[in-house]
Amino acid sequence: MTKRLFLFAGYDARGHVDASLIYLVRALAVFGDVVLHMDNDCTDGSINNLAPYTLHADAVRHGEYDFGSYKRAYIWAHDNLNLADYDFVYLINDSVYGPLYDLGPILGDMESRGWDAFGLVLNPKTSHPHIQSWFIGMRPVAFTAPWFDTFMRSVTRQRDKGAVTKLYEQGFTAAVSAHGLSWGCIYTVAGRGVYNKIKSLYKHGMPFMKKVAFTRHNGRLGRQILYVLNHISPDARTGILENARRTWGDEYIQWMLTRNPFKIMWRGITYGINKARKGNL
């Protein structure tokens, strides 16, 4: 039986564990052990709702983004588990909703391809193609290597998210290559396609939807999101909508997911006007 460890990075602006996070962590726990750290304080005690699905769960604000939480989860696992016992270690964060499909076949697909490190989505940027850091998997040749331990423990607070992306997201893939290891991804999505092509990616088997899709293009992705919501399980849909309403408000979500063709058309017109104005500034 394949033994997996999921190092999970979470964040909630209000310091709360809600149904969408529980749904995701519970789904991961079916396939392996979960160690979780949230980059926020959780004063309402809801972190305890994750106890049935995790080996360890903690919530302390550190401001180091997802890699800061990965670091803390990794150090706990390094100190309390025997990492060499695992066939695969994953780094996963909650910048996504899901899973929208059964994760079993998807994990099996990635793990069967022979890559030393892998992910769901490749950012093919010419100067530095890399695995998007919200879903990364590794074999022991990577996660038990001294360089990986050094890499994880070196994560520190950066001035902005751009610096985090360069140093750690792009830096991880660069380190894998520098140590002569292979890597690859199931999906290759250029630019901001992972945010904007929600329906297409879902129809091609993508098991997650980026949360930021709810705010892209003045809400123009509403029809795509509604398509996904209408095709997933009730539990997944309930968790997504609970989190979305709590994050952006009932009024916004109702407006964005409207089926009214005139409202949809007007939303597209206003987005085009605003985009044209910005282009002329």
Looking only at the bridges linking them, the beta strands covering 4-10 and 33-38 are parallel
Whether 263 shows a pLDDT value over 90: the answer reads no
For residue 42, which of 51, 30, 33, 53 has the smallest C-alpha distance? 51
Confidence of residue 273 (pLDDT cuts 50, 70, 90): low
Confidence of residue 191 (pLDDT cuts 50, 70, 90): confident
Q: 56: burial class by Cβ within 10 Å (0-12, 13-18, 19+)?
A: middle
Q: In the structure encoding, which two tokens stand for residue 237, read together?
A: 């849909």
Choice between 265 and 33, residue whose per-residue pLDDT is larger: 33
Look at residue 270 in the predicted model and tell me its pLDDT.
60
In this structure, the number of other CB atoms found within 10 A of the CB of residue 105 comes to 11
Q: Mean pLDDT check: name the lowest of 51-55, 74-78, 187-191.
A: 187-191
| Main-chain dihedrals φ then ψ at residue 86, nearest 5 degrees | -95, 145
Look at residue 99 in the predicted model and tell me its pLDDT.
98
Question: Which long-range contacts (C-beta less than 8 Å, at least 24 apart) are formed by 220-223?
Answer: 220/267, 220/268, 220/271, 221/196, 221/256, 222/256, 222/257, 222/258, 222/264, 222/267, 223/199, 223/264
Mean pLDDT, the chain, whole residue set: 92
Residue 36, helix vs strand vs coil? strand
pTM of the model: 0.92
Section 12-39 average pLDDT: 97
Section 19-33 average pLDDT: 98
CA distance 205 to 128: 26
DSSP per-residue letters across 108-165: HHHHHT--SEEEEEEE--TTS-EE-TTEEEE-HHHHTSHHHHHHHHT----SSHHHHI
For residue 106, which of 224, 4, 14 has the smallest C-alpha distance? 4
Whether 281 shows a pLDDT value over 50: the answer reads no
Tell how far CA 85 is from the center of its chain.
Answer: 25
CA distance 54 to 244: 24
Look at residue 280 in the predicted model and tell me its pLDDT.
47
Section 120-144 average pLDDT: 93
